[in-house]
Structure 1
Amino acid sequence: MTTEVIDIVVGTVRTGLVGGGFMGRVHAAAARRAGARLTAVASSSRDRAEAVARDLGAARAEDDADGVFAASDIDVVHICTPNATHASLAAAALAAGKHVVCEKPLATSAADARELFRAAEETGAVAAVPFVYRYHPMVREARARIADGRLGALLTVDAAYLQDWMLRRQDDDWRADAAAGGPSRAFADIGSHLCDLIEFVSGERIVRLTARTRRVFDERAGRAVSNEDVAALLVETESGALGTLLVSQMAPGRKNALVLELHGTRRSIRFDQERPEELWIGARKASRLLLRDPVTADADSARLQTVPAGHPMGYQDAFDNFVADVYAAIGGAEPDGLPTFADGLRAAVLTEAVLESSLTRNWIEVPA
């Protein structure tokens, strides 16, 4: 074990990738930038895995995920497959003694997510879920300003995550099939990011919520759909702050519009994921835009700023920082804010609360 940790510290993490779609490529790019060796890839077929391995510069393709898990020259496995496969694949990877990065949702049920959390705790593996919006430097700046009291007591939250890629009836994706994507689509896919960011930045848990969901089309591209396109939530946090959340994959013109605005007794603060270089700081007498600058930033924000002020950082940079923290944790570090299987479980618990509230039309107490 000592030799493995020493190797990892000097930048030789050996990475296996399961899944070769868009997210797999994002993971692979981040792994390379973190100094890892992309050792093996598995995908939906051997031919597909070989094509992905060639494209990504991996050392080899494996016949299937089991081949990646069994390999003695792999330290960490990134799971980037359809949602319904996450739980079984992550469990198998942990059982094989691997560290795991599993795409969200960690599982399509809270029960399965809880078992994965327990398995990770028992094995001592680094087990992470890419809630990567935490890794925008200005998110860390907002978090620091709330933690040091500059906003005052939290009063309200106004948040949304809007996309338009499922706007038309003919728009289709495997996520719209509950067998592959799970019982929730819009909330589990992007609402989970929004809630994670609210709790991470504010430092407060959502303790109760009431939600409504809407499925606009019962059929897409000729097949039945049973999960939602839109979710609207009213939430209450630990301190009694109230929040409104809108999640939609059918908002024309909105591509990846994640916006979080928090209102305190002294200041407000707003982060817009499509404008990640800035924070809006609101006050009664004057408001201003705060631009990213490592020279003036909080230390936790500054450590994530890999380029000087004025050189834009974006989504891939956030993902790169996340994977770098995962690999640092494998090497024995304890990076602040690393999202783990505990956070994946939290998202699954919130998802089930949203679905239950939408079904019963009741307020739901969110389990801790």
Structure 2
Amino acid sequence: MTTKTKLCFIGAGFHAQTNIFPAAVEAGAEIKAIATRNLERSKAALLKFGSTGTPYDSYEQMLKEEECDGVVVVAQPADQMRLAMECIRAGKNVYVDKPLGWNAVEASEVAKAAKETGVVAMVGFMKRYAPIYMKLKELINDEKLGAARSFEARFAVDSTPFCKTEDEFMKLVAIHFVDLIRFLFGEVVQVSGFSNNRSEHISQTLSVKCANGVVGSVFFSGMTAWTRESERMMVTFDHGFASAEEVNTLVVHHSSSTLEKTWQFLGEQDYVYSPSASAMSGAYRDLYVRGFVGEMAHFMECCQKGQTPVSSAEDNIGTMELCDRILSVIQTSTRD
């Protein structure tokens, strides 16, 4: 009989209750305790997700009293580094929703503390665990279409209610695709870009080159124009291309190897990958497709086995460094 992974939670806000709690339960976790600033809120969250665990209005007390496999921190961005460090000092494995640290220096401090303490420290970059991007990563690694040569990326959303500056937009929104670029293509060695912003309305274009030679163009937008959130990642290989559209459809095109004119016969091949949909999938389909269940399952496995997460605190340093570099380049080009 498999023992359930016992998780404690700090925070029970909208994102936590909409995505993280249900994803953890779906992945098989047992919610052992929840700590918020309000005891009644903690009790309500436990009840909502069918847990008989313990409510707290003090995370310090919870960390002191509860034995668990890991702690999930989903709090305000300004609080997350401090809370993560408290968990690490208490010897607890910890998952922290992005961003973990507001810059590379802060990210390094957390990674160093986790390494010294010997605990699992994972950052919530759910796109790494989304089936569409895992499949795209597989295509890049196995080189069945040849080597990846270039990519075009788009990530656009109305971030104006919660991002008022370009810095906030990069660290709270665009960071997902910044991290995804590193996950898919490796480290970025060159970056250039421009922005055309108006107050909290953000529009950015970037050009990047990776250490392995892959080049890419990136479009980020945080504007009311994008109330319909949109994302795309198209990769060109030696012998075809793959286009990941809106999280749930991956089109893979194999170019014909024949020397004949392919328009004269059915010589082109496209494979389309997508999740099924039915009344039985309910809201859980979205949690799987977007990667929330996958990341929770991965964190739980790392806690049980003592493994280093794919999106570890140490790896997070590279993502924060790249965010800092992008901001520096854009701000310099704006001044010029």
Q: Deviations over 1:61-99 (max 9, x none)?
A: 211221232223233111111111111110010000111
Any residues of structure 2 matched to 1:312-327 within 5 Å, and which?
Answer: 314-317=285-288, 318-327=291-300
1:34 aligns with 2:27: yes
Question: Could you tell which deviates more after superposition, 53-62 or 259-268?
Answer: 53-62
* Matched-pair contact (CA < 8 Å) for 1:77–1:99: yes
* Matched-pair contact (CA < 8 Å) for 1:137–1:292: no
The residue matched to 2:99 in structure 1 has which SS? coil
User: What is the percentage of aligned positions where both structures have the same residue?
Assistant: 21
* Matched-pair contact (CA < 8 Å) for 1:210–1:234: yes
How far 1:324 moved relative to its partner? 1.1
Any residues of structure 2 matched to 1:130-145 within 5 Å, and which?
Answer: 130-145=124-139
The residue matched to 2:167 in structure 1 has which SS? coil
| Structure 1 residues 290 and 75, CA gap change in structure 2 (3 angstroms) | same
* Matched-pair contact (CA < 8 Å) for 1:150–1:267: no
* Matched-pair contact (CA < 8 Å) for 2:120–2:307: no
Q: CA–CA distance in 2 between the matches of 1:215 and 1:47?
A: 42
1:97 aligns with 2:91: yes
Among 289, 292, 307, the alignment partner of 2:271 is: 289
Among 100, 108, 117, the alignment partner of 1:114 is: 108
* Matched-pair contact (CA < 8 Å) for 1:93–1:99: yes
Task: State the 4+ residue runs in structure 1 displaced beyond 6 angstroms.
Answer: 310-313
Q: CA RMSD in A?
A: 2.9
Among 152, 155, 160, the alignment partner of 1:158 is: 152
1:235 aligns with 2:235: no
| Structure 1 residues 133 and 206, CA gap change in structure 2 (3 angstroms) | same
The corresponding residue for 1:206 is 188
Q: CA–CA distance in 1 between the matches of 2:239 and 2:320?
A: 33
Residue identity matched to 2:82:
S
Q: CA–CA distance in 2 between the matches of 1:103 and 1:62?
A: 20
Unaligned runs of 5+ in 1: 1-8, 167-171, 219-227, 294-304, 363-368
Any residues of structure 2 matched to 1:297-308 within 5 Å, and which?
Answer: none
How far 1:40 moved relative to its partner? 1.5
Q: CA–CA distance in 1 between the matches of 2:176 and 2:96?
A: 14
Residue identity matched to 1:234:
S
The corresponding residue for 2:5 is 13
Q: CA–CA distance in 1 between the matches of 2:85 and 2:329?
A: 29
How many equivalent pairs are there?
318
The corresponding residue for 2:180 is 197
* Matched-pair contact (CA < 8 Å) for 1:17–1:79: yes
Q: CA–CA distance in 2 between the matches of 1:67 and 1:255?
A: 42
* Matched-pair contact (CA < 8 Å) for 1:104–1:344: no
| Structure 1 residues 257 and 39, CA gap change in structure 2 (3 angstroms) | same
TM-score w.r.t. structure 2 length?
0.84
Residue identity matched to 1:70:
K
* Matched-pair contact (CA < 8 Å) for 1:164–1:249: yes
| Structure 1 residues 215 and 81, CA gap change in structure 2 (3 angstroms) | farther
The corresponding residue for 1:358 is 330
The corresponding residue for 1:217 is 199
Among 329, 332, 339, the alignment partner of 2:302 is: 329
Unaligned runs of 5+ in 2: 257-261, 263-267
How far 1:199 moved relative to its partner? 2.5
TM-score w.r.t. structure 1 length?
0.77
| Structure 1 residues 340 and 187, CA gap change in structure 2 (3 angstroms) | same
Question: Could you tell which deviates more after superposition, 135-144 or 85-94?
Answer: 135-144
1:55 aligns with 2:26: no
Q: CA–CA distance in 2 between the matches of 1:83 and 1:40?
A: 21
Residue identity matched to 2:239:
R
The corresponding residue for 1:246 is 219
Residue identity matched to 1:82:
Q
Residue identity matched to 1:249:
G
Q: CA–CA distance in 2 between the matches of 1:334 and 1:290?
A: 34
| Structure 1 residues 118 and 61, CA gap change in structure 2 (3 angstroms) | same
Q: CA–CA distance in 2 between the matches of 1:233 and 1:348?
A: 16
The residue matched to 1:244 in structure 2 has which SS? strand
Residue identity matched to 2:190:
R
| Structure 1 residues 69 and 213, CA gap change in structure 2 (3 angstroms) | farther
The corresponding residue for 1:185 is 168
Q: CA–CA distance in 1 between the matches of 2:32 and 2:4?
A: 11
